[in-house]
A and B are shown apart, each in its own frame.
Chain A
């Protein structure tokens, strides 16, 4: 099945820095999602986006649904050690659900 491309694949940042990651696809999606997977746990939904151009925040996290509907972006401001984990994007088109390849985030105290 299709897999969405996420970049970067991994990030090592200092505590307090801002983080940006993105997700791209060759197909159009109606919904974009961002999940976080803590070590040893399952993915947990962070943000859901339903309209092209939509910008949605959840605390220090902000995500955007790209205008072309083929991409999405996630920003984390003022990172803290508990932000460590793997961030996955996901796109939904009808009944089809596709995951991104993941971005592994390490925050250095």
Chain B
């Protein structure tokens, strides 16, 4: 079962940063926070993950609060191609690596 809470939808202007929040108040010490996205019924695509520290890669940044009960995915310069459903998932190394997807946040980037 999904252990995260995300807003169902949000809009973002093209070229602006998109900040996607996720609550995971029951996260365990050994659970990572993963973000995936799904563009129009394509296979989900990995974006970024982290345990405690903030992380950045070529796609996005992940900010995890000190108590690890929430996180924010930041798309620094949203483009129309970033329109997708974004899933925040918590997963432990010892749960056999399965991913439990919730409803996610539908992000619409507008020109």
Chain A bound to chain B = no
B-binding residues in A (CB < 8 A)? none
User: Which B residues form the contact surface with A (CB < 8 A)?
Assistant: none
